[in-house]
Homo-oligomer: A and B are copies of this chain.
Amino acid sequence: MAETATIPLTLEDIEQLSRAVFASNGCDEPNTDALVRTVVTAERDGSASHGLFRVPGYIASLRSGKVNGRARPTIDNALAAVIKVHGDNGYAPLAIERGVPVLAEAAKKLGIAVMTITHSYHFAAMWPEVEALAAEDLIGLACVSSKPYVAPAGGSEALFGTNPISFAWPRPGKMPVVVDMATAAMAHGEIQLAAREGEAVPLGAGLDASGNDTTDPREILQGVLLPFGGYKGSAIALMVELLAGGAVGDHFGFESQAADNNDGGPSVGGEFIMAISPELVAGSGWAEHCEAFFQRYDAIEGARLPGLRRHDNRKSNEPRHINAELVERIRDLRR
């Protein structure tokens, strides 16, 4: 692993720094608050690729005028089980914060409900939205797409975004089980980080510009990423692309790319979020039933429930070690 200079920042430091940067680059208070929470919770949980690392991209799209820092998301709930959030061309966190309580209410009443976010820019992890549903004792599922970086299995031309899928299972009185993963073999942010650190990536992460296997992340960034798990992972990536684009009624990845100004920030797109009430669908006793399963899981040597590492990181109040060059770059973005 290459030596990289880091500096220690407390979560309060991270909050102040990101607040100053967003507020001085055209975000009003509700949008700033939502973005700061997104950055701080990512760093708190050790998701380096979705925390401060994203701030220069956020700022680039505010400065280019592509993203609306004063967005006022609106909610169409004409159908009780369908919550349509129009993001007003802002960043997704505020749309999510406004929409998720409406989605949760609907799922608790109806058993299942779906929320779509359109006209929005997603540049973060998805566990915050599904964890928010799990905190209401709901099962949460979320999908988002992005510009094409990933080739369908068998091909060497990008069509899918890294197409993450996130899933949270509520455990009353405990932290939920939370999956949040790119359906690319590696997330684009992870490839970027590896390229920055000069580290090789595993074979299967992507192809170079000529369609050949490579372990060099810089070559993959010139070529194409691959889905995890071959044809089966490619099918999951397809499902995510169809839900986040086709079911939401917003851009597929290739359309996001065509619409983008390539300012370094995220491209426009949709998000699909679903909530299910296990109380209404499975019936009472669901939580104890599931705990018996989780106990079996935990008893297997070498197996860990998804999300544990993040939740462990969350417990620490120690300063986070942030790439020093990145911190300098962000400080310079304050105006």
> Smallest CB-CB separation from A301: which chain B residue?
B155
B306 touches A177 (CB 8 A): no
**A274–B81 CA distance with the chains assembled, in angstroms:** 13
Residue A229, interface by CB 8 Å: yes
Please report the C-alpha to C-alpha distance between residue A84 and residue B304 in the assembled complex, in whole angstroms: 32
| A112 and B157 contact, CB distance less than 8 A | no
Task: Provide the bound-state CA to CA distance between A250 and B305, in Å.
Answer: 21
Q: Which residue of B lies closest to A79 (CB)?
A: B111
User: Is A60 interfacial (CB 8 A cutoff)?
Assistant: no
Instruction: Contact check, A235 vs B155: say whether CB atoms are below 8 A apart.
Output: no
Evaluate whether A232 and B301 lie within 8 angstroms (CB atoms) in the complex, with A276-B114, A282-B246, A286-B246 already known: no
Tell me the complex Cα distance, A302–B154, Å: 5
Query: Which of B114, B177, B242, B247 lies in contact with A238, CB distance below 8 A?
Result: B177
- Residues facing B in A20-65 (CB within 8 A) are none
User: Does any Cβ of B come within 8 Å of A75's Cβ?
Assistant: no
Instruction: Tell whether, in the assembled complex, residue B82 and residue A306 are in contact, meaning their CB atoms are under 8 Å apart.
Output: no
A81 contacts B112, C-beta separation under 8 Å:
yes
> Chain B residues near A84 (CB, 8 Å)?
281
| Contact code string A236-249 (vs B, CB < 8 Å = 1, else 0) | 10110111011111
* A232 with B235: CB separation less than 8 A: no
In the complex formed, the residue of B with least CB distance to A243 is: B139
**A272-307: which residues lie under 8 A (CB-CB) from chain B?**
274, 276, 278, 280-283, 285-286, 289-290, 292-293, 296-297, 300-306
Interface size class of A (residues with CB under 8 A): 35 or more
B residues less than 8 Å from A238 (CB atoms): 177, 179, 297, 305-306
Q: Map CB proximity to B onto A201-240 as digits: 1 under 8 Å, 0 otherwise.
A: 0000000000000000000000000001111110110110
Set of chain B residues within 8 Å of A79, measured between Cβ atoms: 110-111, 280
Are A169 and B246 within 8 A (Cβ)? yes
Q: How far does the Cβ of A32 sit from chain B's closest Cβ, in whole Å?
A: 31
Is B300's CB under 8 angstroms from A151's CB? yes
Q: Does A152 contact B (CB under 8 A)?
A: yes
Of the candidates A230, A274, A303, the one having the most CB atoms from chain B within 10 angstroms of its own CB is: A303
Whether the pair A304, B154 counts as a contact (CB closer than 8 A) is: yes
> Interface 1/0s, chain A 131-156, versus B by CB < 8 A?
00000000100000000000111111
Render A61-94 as a binary contact track against B, CB cut-off 8 A, 1 for contact.
0000000000000000001111010000000000
| Nearest B-chain residue to A291, judged by Cβ | B246
Contacts of A283 in B (CB 8 A): 249
- The chain B residue with its CB closest to the CB of A202 is B230
In the complex, how many angstroms separate the beta carbon of A264 from the nearest chain B beta carbon?
25
Q: How far is the CB of A269 from chain B (nearest CB, A)?
A: 13
Q: How far is the CA of A226 from the CA of B12 in the complex (A)?
A: 43
Q: List 14 A-B contacts (CB under 8 A).
A: A80-B110, A114-B276, A152-B303, A157-B301, A159-B296, A183-B232, A233-B233, A242-B293, A245-B293, A246-B293, A247-B278, A247-B281, A249-B278, A254-B296
Beyond contacts A179-B235, A179-B239, A252-B293: 6 other A-B pairs, Cβ-Cβ < 8 A, are A81-B110, A114-B281, A151-B300, A159-B296, A248-B281, A252-B292
